[in-house]
A and B are shown apart, each in its own frame.
Chain A
Amino acid sequence: MMRFSSNHFLFVIFFVVTLICTQNVHASEVVVYSARIEQLIKPMFDAFTKETGIKVRYTTDNEGALLARLQAEGKNTPADMLITVDAGNLWAASKAGLLKSVKSDVLENNIPLHLRDPNNEWFGLSVRARTIVYNTRKVEPRELSTYEDLADEKWHKRLCLRSSKKVYNQSLVAMMIAEHGEAETEKIIKGWVTNLATDPLPDDTKALEYVAAGKCDVTLVNTYYFGRLMSKDSNLPLAIFWPNQHGSGVHVNISGAGITRYGRNEKAAIQLLEYLSSAKAQNLFADLNMEYPANPTIKPDRFVATWGDFRQNPLNLIKAGELQTTAVKLMDRAGYK
């Protein structure tokens, strides 16, 4: 039987703990909303704090939730900076008026034009290349050429793809729409779907494993997934092919950041953003996840460099955002699940 004394005791604990855990945000800090996970941002923040004495507070969540949160908080938001892992969401944040244009020579120097907002509301910090990976036992590199070529019937029952619900594929298709127009792109996507050896897979790693196991011969993945899998088992019969080298170039997306419109510590936030684009942080930022630095003067990680150089698609990534909805609808129509 419960006694009232123990009831009261529990309530006291309840309120004390609640109050202790109530924290306030101080002015001398930068507050970051990040869709990039803690493990991939904390080391740079720590280094920044060490160098400048400015503290960084951050919270992580998925992009959609962070955007909705910023929107709901409006002028009262504690956030000074928003970090995402794709351009589409930065574009959406900018379109919703959540970001602020930044005038910074450092950033303009460090980040190439196609990896940042034309209005300087967001900047790419690392590059994620989405490329072709093939089974070395079943495919000769000369058979491969472009993303578009994967719709050709010679790849019938030889293609594996990740689900169309992942933003990486949506951006890729959006950029294809920007280049070829909707009708042409839809034909290509339909070709892909016909060529599928199995239903779309839940993630890039799974797609790579399917290729390695021989269920299919080629797939489209972000390079760091390939890197991770190969560093676990370097004997896998997988290799990277850089497509569209004679045309538009390899599709890239970014992990990037923008300064929030209503942030309170704009100066410190810009300082952090500049720091992240600088040589000191760029290597770490990219290398932690085997991505490519956004700053073209910085060399990628040694292991990553062994995959060879490639030409990036120079089209501004804002297109990935603008055309994302169109791309999603197009993939639905094409039956790409």
Chain B
Amino acid sequence: MAIWRFIPFTTAVTVLLPVVVVFSSFWVPTDDVWRHLVETTLLTLIINTAWLAFGVVIGTAILGVSLAWLTSVYEFPGRAFFSWALLLPLATPAYVTAFVALGLFDFTGPIQTSLRVWLDSDLSWFPDIRNRFGVIMILTLAFYPYVYLLARNAFMSQGRRSLEVAQSLGLNRRQGFFKVALPMARPWIASGIMLVLMETLADFGTVAVFNYDTFTTAIYKAWFSMFSLDAASQLASLLIILVFAVIVLEQQSRLKMQYAENKKSHRANRILLCGWKKWLVCGLVFVTLFAAFFLPIMQLSIWAIQSVTANFDFLRFGEFLWNSLILSFLAVLLVCLMAVVMVYVARRFSTTSIRYAIRIATIGYALPGTVLAIGIYMPMVWFDGKLNEWISYWIEIENGQLLQGTLITMLIAYLIRFMAVSYYPIDGAMQRVTRNIDEAALTFGVHGWAMISKVHFPILKPGIFTAATLVFIDVMKEMPITLMTRPFGWDTLAIRIFSLTSEGQWEQAALPAVTLVLAGLVPIIVFMRQTEH
């Protein structure tokens, strides 16, 4: 029992290490960089970042919630297909969507070019997408599935019922949605929005494509261009504090409410949409999906076909794919297991300090990838050095690396990065395991492992599946940590995309990008099959 308690604390500490490393920069004087930032771009960066975060949060909330509501409560042509297909944009890295969108709609893109020829005009009225609005739109299209997925969880289990209750109390469907279904789904929607907010703040690729300067841009500029990792870390710490404040505020506002799901409900018959309404809904959903997924994928596929030349190394390419898959698989196992452990600890010892420790532990997701990567790498190397010294005392070893350059390092790094992605859905599911359920099970003499496997696991399963799907896809897409911690030769699809795009070879990067998306589809499809029934 003592060891059981010890495990989660070790996890929490491990996960907290990079955050500590990032924060430790606070004592290093970097007045020079700061003075420069304050004098020049800082205000713009903050305004830009605030706009971006605000826009994307609002955008994904509206899009994700309404799509989830439509697909879980109404019946319309293609609903069964859309309900899982709407998750597909998750599999496409945001910066890829951004690049493709820019390629298509920009001044030099095929659309504007053909219009200029046909209309024989300079097209000065054509909206430029290289601006704030464009970035917000791309990130909204890329990140709405997080909100959609979690809101759908909530609506599937209680959407129709909550609507009925509202109607029986004299509210119409619209009022029922806003006054009942929406507030009841709040913890799930909030978790989805949290993930979106963190992803948005950490995003570097998309804003770089649009040359839209945010806080993250400043972090990278301080590090890579002004060679001050300390200044970069300080900026990153501010970002962490901001995200943490948002998390705490959200937590406080729903402290007393518990969202235990109502148990068995009447079979969820969807409301049949008729006439023009069903085609309108079908059309709107399709347009969203087309813009967010099919359009970028079509463009990528065209580039991919063009890039496969006669001397294409299929064997090497297969190796990238295999590495991506096996890494994602291992990461899913580890991250989900640890998230379940953390969720249990939060439930078992629900003291304030543990709750906050866990919140901090999930914050790795909000850090710009490369900053987190080095935050993970530094303590890891230090630990390796100490371990090495200790072992050298007993036996002769050749070089100073035991953990570095092994998959263990890499997996721990993924754990730190993706704790939030797996923690939130599983925690959401755990909210449905009420004390009564535990007590009911105890009266049947079920406890310990049996309680977990027979009573909890079936309830947690949807949450764990959600978590596993998200982690799998996120690890597939992940770049900075994979780049820094991978063992020699362990190149993945994402690494391939990085190396090609860093030299501006977007067309060549299309094939690994398409493959990455396709591989990411597998868990999404499996996942949806599991939850549809």
Direct contact of A and B (CB under 8 A): yes
Q: Is the CB of B370 within 8 A of A14?
A: no
Q: How far is the CB of B264 from chain A (nearest CB, A)?
A: 19
A179 at the interface (CB under 8 A from B): no
Q: Is the CB of B457 within 8 A of A18?
A: no
Q: How far is the CB of B349 from chain A (nearest CB, A)?
A: 24
A46 at the interface (CB under 8 A from B): no
Separation of A68 and B18 alpha carbons in the complex (Å): 14
Q: Given known contacts A10-B333, A76-B401, is B377 in contact with A68 (CB within 8 Å)?
A: yes
Q: Is the CB of B398 within 8 A of A72?
A: no
- Mask: chain B, 218-234; 1 = CB below 8 Å from A; 0 = not: 00110111110100000
Contacts of A11 in B (CB 8 A): 333
- Mask: chain A, 59-77; 1 = CB below 8 Å from B; 0 = not: 1111111001100111110
- Mask: chain A, 194-230; 1 = CB below 8 Å from B; 0 = not: 0000111111111001101101000000000100100
Q: Looking at the complex, which one of A37, A38, A202, A264 makes contact with B399 (CB distance below 8 Å)?
A: A264
Q: Is the CB of B108 within 8 A of A165?
A: no
Contacts of B399 in A (CB 8 A): 24-25, 76, 78, 264
Interface of B, helix, strand, loop or mixed by DSSP: helix
A167 at the interface (CB under 8 A from B): yes
Q: How far is the CB of B336 from chain A (nearest CB, A)?
A: 11
B415 at the interface (CB under 8 A from A): no
- Mask: chain B, 336-353; 1 = CB below 8 Å from A; 0 = not: 000000000000000000
Q: Is the CB of B453 within 8 A of A212?
A: no
Q: Given known contacts A1-B458, A57-B488, A204-B504, is B483 in contact with A21 (CB within 8 Å)?
A: no
A315 at the interface (CB under 8 A from B): no
Separation of A75 and B491 alpha carbons in the complex (Å): 26
For chain B, residues 480 to 504, give those with C-beta under 8 angstroms from any C-beta of chain A: 480, 483-484, 486-491, 495, 499-500, 502-504
Interface of A, helix, strand, loop or mixed by DSSP: helix
- Return the chain A residue nearest B370 by Cβ: A65
Q: Looking at the complex, which one of B39, B374, B486, B499 makes contact with A68 (CB distance below 8 Å)?
A: B374
Segment at the interface with B among A184-192, A269-277, A321-329: A321-329
Contacts of B449 in A (CB 8 A): 4
Contacts of A206 in B (CB 8 A): 102, 106, 108
Q: Looking at the complex, which one of A4, A23, A27, A205 makes contact with B406 (CB distance below 8 Å)?
A: A23
Q: Is the CB of B405 within 8 A of A69?
A: no
A248 at the interface (CB under 8 A from B): no
Q: Is the CB of A39 within 8 A of B499?
A: yes
Contacts of A38 in B (CB 8 A): 491, 499
Contacts of B381 in A (CB 8 A): 72-74, 76
Q: Is the CB of B388 within 8 A of A27?
A: no
Contacts of A63 in B (CB 8 A): 224
Separation of A69 and B107 alpha carbons in the complex (Å): 40
Q: Given known contacts A1-B454, A76-B385, is B488 in contact with A59 (CB within 8 Å)?
A: yes
Interface centre among B113, B334, B486, B499 (most CB of A within 10 A): B499
Contacts of B113 in A (CB 8 A): 213
A239 at the interface (CB under 8 A from B): no
Q: Is the CB of A23 within 8 A of B487?
A: yes
Q: How far is the CB of A123 from chain B (nearest CB, A)?
A: 20
Q: Is the CB of B225 within 8 A of A65?
A: no
B209 at the interface (CB under 8 A from A): yes
- Return the chain B residue nearest A78 by Cβ: B401
Q: Is the CB of A25 within 8 A of B488?
A: yes
B36 at the interface (CB under 8 A from A): yes
A289 at the interface (CB under 8 A from B): yes
Q: Looking at the complex, which one of A17, A18, A215 makes contact with B108 (CB distance below 8 Å)?
A: A215
Q: Is the CB of A69 within 8 A of B108?
A: no
For chain A, residues 298 to 337, give those with C-beta under 8 angstroms from any C-beta of chain B: 324-325, 328-329, 332-333, 337
Contacts of B259 in A (CB 8 A): none
A268 at the interface (CB under 8 A from B): no
Contacts of B385 in A (CB 8 A): 74, 76
Q: Is the CB of A2 within 8 A of B377?
A: no
B284 at the interface (CB under 8 A from A): no
Q: Looking at the complex, which one of B227, B407, B499 makes contact with A21 (CB distance below 8 Å)?
A: B407
Contacts of A58 in B (CB 8 A): 488
Q: Given known contacts A76-B400, A324-B227, is B504 in contact with A2 (CB within 8 Å)?
A: no
B408 at the interface (CB under 8 A from A): yes
Q: Is the CB of A332 within 8 A of B211?
A: no
Q: Is the CB of B504 within 8 A of A64?
A: no
Interface band, chain B: 35 or more
- Mask: chain A, 18-33; 1 = CB below 8 Å from B; 0 = not: 1001111101000100
- Mask: chain B, 398-436; 1 = CB below 8 Å from A; 0 = not: 111100111110010000000000000000000000000
Q: Looking at the complex, which one of B40, B107, B224 makes contact with A62 (CB distance below 8 Å)?
A: B224
Q: Is the CB of B486 within 8 A of A213?
A: no
Q: How far is the CB of A207 from chain B (nearest CB, A)?
A: 10
Separation of A167 and B224 alpha carbons in the complex (Å): 9
Contacts of B503 in A (CB 8 A): 37, 40, 289
Separation of A73 and B404 alpha carbons in the complex (Å): 10
Separation of A202 and B134 alpha carbons in the complex (Å): 14
Q: How far is the CB of A291 from chain B (nearest CB, A)?
A: 11
- Return the chain B residue nearest A57 by Cβ: B488
B172 at the interface (CB under 8 A from A): no
Contacts of B457 in A (CB 8 A): 1-2
Contacts of B504 in A (CB 8 A): 203-205, 225, 228
Contacts of B227 in A (CB 8 A): 92, 324-325
Q: Looking at the complex, which one of A23, A202, A228 makes contact with B210 (CB distance below 8 Å)?
A: A202
Q: How far is the CB of B42 from chain A (nearest CB, A)?
A: 10
Interface centre among B107, B130, B220 (most CB of A within 10 A): B107
B525 at the interface (CB under 8 A from A): no
Q: How far is the CB of B484 from chain A (nearest CB, A)?
A: 5
- Return the chain A residue nearest B130 by Cβ: A199
- Mask: chain B, 104-138; 1 = CB below 8 Å from A; 0 = not: 00111000010000000000000000110000000
- Return the chain A residue nearest B452 by Cβ: A2
Separation of A178 and B495 alpha carbons in the complex (Å): 36
Q: Given known contacts A21-B490, A23-B487, A64-B370, is B211 in contact with A337 (CB within 8 Å)?
A: yes
- Return the chain A residue nearest B499 by Cβ: A37
Separation of A2 and B458 alpha carbons in the complex (Å): 9
Separation of A324 and B483 alpha carbons in the complex (Å): 25
Separation of A163 and B209 alpha carbons in the complex (Å): 10
Q: Is the CB of A72 within 8 A of B377?
A: yes
- Return the chain B residue nearest A208 by Cβ: B108
A253 at the interface (CB under 8 A from B): no
A131 at the interface (CB under 8 A from B): no
- Return the chain A residue nearest B411 by Cβ: A18
A170 at the interface (CB under 8 A from B): yes
Contacts of B400 in A (CB 8 A): 75-76
Q: Looking at the complex, which one of B108, B130, B490 makes contact with A209 (CB distance below 8 Å)?
A: B108
Q: How far is the CB of B138 from chain A (nearest CB, A)?
A: 13
A and B contact pairs by CB, cutoff 8 A, 28 listed: A11-B333, A14-B333, A17-B407, A18-B411, A21-B407, A22-B406, A22-B407, A22-B408, A37-B502, A39-B499, A58-B488, A60-B483, A60-B495, A61-B483, A64-B224, A65-B374, A68-B229, A74-B385, A76-B401, A92-B227, A165-B225, A167-B224, A199-B211, A206-B102, A206-B108, A209-B108, A328-B225, A337-B211
Chain B residues within 8 Å of A, Cβ to Cβ: 36, 39-41, 102, 106-108, 113, 130-131, 208-211, 213, 217, 220-221, 223-227, 229, 326, 330, 333-334, 370, 373-374, 377-378, 381-382, 384-385, 388, 398-401, 404-408, 411, 449, 453-454, 457-458, 480, 483-484, 486-491, 495, 499-500, 502-506
Question: Besides A76-B400, A78-B399, 8 other CB < 8 A contacts?
Answer: A1-B458, A21-B487, A23-B406, A37-B502, A68-B377, A202-B210, A324-B227, A337-B213
- A-B CB proximity, top 3 nearest: A76-B400, A37-B499, A209-B108
